[in-house]
Amino acid sequence: MSQLLLCGQTLEITGNPMRAPHGDVCRHDPRGGVLIEDGRIAALGDAAALRAAHPDAEVVDLGDALILPGFVDAHAHFAQTRIIASWGKRLIDWLNSYTFPEEMRFADPSYAAGIAEAYFDLTLAQGTTTVCSYGTVHPESVDAYFEAARARGLRALCGKTCMDRNAPDGLRDDAQTAHDQSAALLARWHGVDRLSYVITPRFSPTSTRAQLEAMGALYAAHPDCLMQTHLSEQTDEIAWVAELFPETRDYLDTYERAGLLGPTALFGHAIHLTARERDRMAEVGAALVHCPTSNTFIGSGLFDMGGLAGTHRIGLATDTGGGSSFSMLRTMAAAYEVAQLGGRPLHPSELLWLATRGSAEALHLGDRIGTLAVGMEADLVALDLGSTPAIAQRAARASDIWEAVFPTIMMGDDRAVAGVWVAGARVVGTA
């Protein structure tokens, strides 16, 4: 049985530093090791002791690189890869001008397959080992995403985006078709290898009551599946929802009445929430997914980290291509900046938690990924904490691991990624 031993700095975050002092839930080892066996973490500890205990293990000495769980992106649109960083539109105009025309192309399986491959090349290069993505209305898009992910051994999540109104011809289905195609994709992919299907109504403005209810019925029939959608991203969107659903109490109620609110529900953005919406999601245990680069790029608003972190399950996401980067490092930096504007500076441990275990828990995968712990799947990233001259000169003055890693969070990019391992197999970097 072959073993692989990665040696470098290790950082174990065993609990949520947003709810406990980081000194109580974080353990840094400047000369640590991670032993991998059969795609899982078999042991953690002092590198020298692990070398002595496992003399036959293949050793990869990463020097002072910091070994972390692979980053987990809890909300993305892989089909928007080629329109990332498109200039100057608010949400609804942005969808009509850029997103919908591009998503039309995913009826072509070969086009969808090419984008899926390019997308995973980009995300893995940034240290992201798990993504929860929206497909397009076309089942071919979901097939392409899962086929590419499966070939790479990735833990990945996706669902067919369902829309039956307020979208162009060629991007609309209907309530029955959405249900049946989603059910067929779920049966084909959910639980295969490391793949999970996610029930995916895009958002209430593009789904009739009948379609939301059809998705709610599918969600009820498959309680082991997640449900993902968008919520309260922009104020004009919320006003539109109120016009489309005058009988509802608020935006969240459009989902709740359809049976789409539950502990395995993921709500992207969740910026402009009412008190009832906050309380109800906390009561149910639904997850909120913070998309900071998208929220600032499209001018949506500022997520209330200070008011939500203590009571809600929160994940972190690039939201590409509304988000302006494929990098979870850049996303952590944006989360820090947004929280600063709200008067809640996030500690580096909190940022790393959000990008790893926090997002994993939002996806109900916290028992499998997102933490350096024995038995967890060996999806890992190693960060060079001196990857550029600007970062290196600041890190050189660090008095602890937090001062050392924070410049990489704020200024790092793919140059900081010294290696990426998926289920113990190296996919980025050279040994």
Element (H, E) at 204: none
Q: What is the pLDDT of residues 198-251, one digit of tens each?
A: 999 999 999 999 999 999 999 999 999 999 999 999 999 999 999 999 999 999
Question: Which of 81-90, 97-106, 243-252 has the weakest average pLDDT?
Answer: 81-90
Strands 425-428 and 417-422: antiparallel
Give the fold, CATH level 3, of 71-362: TIM Barrel (3.20.20)
Strand partners, 229: 267
Q: What pLDDT shows up at residue 75?
A: 98
Q: What pLDDT shows up at residue 431?
A: 52
Looking at the predicted structure, is the pLDDT value of residue 84 above 60?
Answer: yes
| SS percent in the chain: helix, strand, coil, step 5 | 40, 25, 35
Residue 329's alpha-carbon distances to 71, 99, 186, 339, 430, in angstroms, are 9, 24, 32, 15, 21
Pick from 180, 112, 189, 182: which is nearest to 146 by CA?
189
Pick from 233, 244, 217: which is nearest to 267 by CA?
233
Element (H, E) at 330: helix 328-341
Cis bond upstream, residue 321 (ω within 30): yes
Superfamily of domain 3-69+371-428: Urease, subunit C, domain 1 (2.30.40.10)
Q: What pLDDT shows up at residue 430?
A: 66
Looking up tokens 């893995």 gives 124
Pick from 326, 347, 296, 320: which is nearest to 414 by CA?
326
Looking at the predicted structure, is the pLDDT value of residue 374 above 60?
Answer: yes
Q: CB-based burial of residue 53 (10 Å sphere; 0-12 exposed, 13-18 middle, 19+ buried)? A: middle
DSSP state of 429: S
Distance CA 75, CA 319 (A): 5
The answer to whether the CB of 298 falls within 8 A of the CB of 89 is yes
Looking up tokens 């969740």 gives 270
Scored b (16 or more CB within 10 A) or e, 175-194 reads beebbebbbebbeebbeeeb
Pick from 105, 68, 106, 18: which is nearest to 358 by CA?
18
Q: What is the pLDDT of residues 26-78, one digit of tens each?
A: 999 999 999 999 999 999 999 999 999 999 999 999 999 999 999 999 999 99
Q: What is the pLDDT of residues 186-210, one digit of tens each?
A: 999 999 999 999 999 999 999 999 9
pLDDT band, very low/low/confident/very high, at 87 (cuts 50, 70, 90): confident
Tell me phi and psi for residue 373, to 5 degrees: -155, 150
Q: What pLDDT shows up at residue 19?
A: 94
- Average pLDDT in the 273-297 region? 97
169 CB-near residues (< 8 Å, 6+ apart): none
Tokens of 138: 């076309």
Hey, do 3-69+371-428 and 71-362 end up sharing a CATH topology, with the first three levels equal?
no
Strands 3-13 and 26-37: antiparallel
Pick from 77, 335, 89: which is nearest to 236 by CA?
89
First to last CA, the chain: 20
Q: CB-based burial of residue 203 (10 Å sphere; 0-12 exposed, 13-18 middle, 19+ buried)? A: buried
Pick from 293, 335, 315: which is nearest to 85 by CA?
293
- Average pLDDT in the 362-375 region? 98
The answer to whether the CB of 175 falls within 8 A of the CB of 213 is yes
Residue type, 320: T
Distance CA 298, CA 12 (A): 35
Distance CA 78, CA 175 (A): 24
Tokens of 373: 């712990």
Number of other residues whose CB lies within 10 A of the CB of residue 96: 14
Q: Which sequence spans correspond to the domains of the chain?
A: 3-69+371-428, 71-362
Q: What pLDDT shows up at residue 76?
A: 98
Look at 430 and 196; give whichever has higher pLDDT.
Answer: 196
Q: What percent of the chain stands above pLDDT 90?
A: 96
Looking up tokens 């919406």 gives 277
- Average pLDDT in the 87-113 region? 90
Distance CA 95, CA 39 (A): 40
Mapped onto helix, strand or coil, the DSSP state of residue 163 is: coil
- At CA 69, angle to CA 66 and CA 72, rounded to 5? 130
Mean pLDDT (the chain) is 97
pLDDT band, very low/low/confident/very high, at 94 (cuts 50, 70, 90): confident
Looking at the predicted structure, is the pLDDT value of residue 89 above 80?
Answer: no
Looking at the predicted structure, is the pLDDT value of residue 96 above 60?
Answer: yes
